[in-house]
């Protein structure tokens, strides 16, 4: 059973998202479903994320979310 949702999103982000989805041959709905599945998989897997591994080695004043963002930007 599918369920409709309503979200507020920045216009520029939606425009960029739509362009990427279209370039991949996906509807926005398909792309959002894939993004949600990826988000869930990345945040519930039993294997540790990069940040969690590093967190065990290095003490940081940054939160886990900030470290994930830093890692993502640096790639």
Residues 38 and 23 occupy one common structural domain: yes
Which distant-in-sequence residues (6+ apart) come within 8 Å of 64 by Cβ?
51, 52, 55
Asked if residue 4 belongs to a domain, the reply is no
Asked if residue 29 belongs to a domain, the reply is yes
Domain range spanning residue 67?
47-75
Residues 59 and 37 occupy one common structural domain: no
Q: Which residue has the tokens 């979200």?
A: 7
- Which parts of the chain sit beneath pLDDT 50? none
Asked if residue 52 belongs to a domain, the reply is yes
pLDDT at 52: 66
How do residues 26-43 score in pLDDT, each as one tens digit?
999 999 999 999 888 877
Residues 39 and 51 occupy one common structural domain: no
pLDDT at 29: 94
pLDDT at 11: 96
Residues 37 and 55 occupy one common structural domain: no
């Amino acid at each position: 059973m599918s369920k409709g949702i309503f979200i507020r999103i920045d216009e520029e982000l939606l425009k960029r998202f739509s362009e990427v989805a279209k370039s991949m041959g996906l509807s926005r709905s398909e792309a959002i479903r894939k993004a949600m599945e990826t988000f869930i998989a990345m945040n519930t897997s039993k294997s540790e994320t990069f940040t969690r591994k590093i967190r065990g080695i290095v003490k940081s004043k940054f939160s886990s979310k900030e470290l994930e963002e830093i890692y993502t930007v640096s790639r």
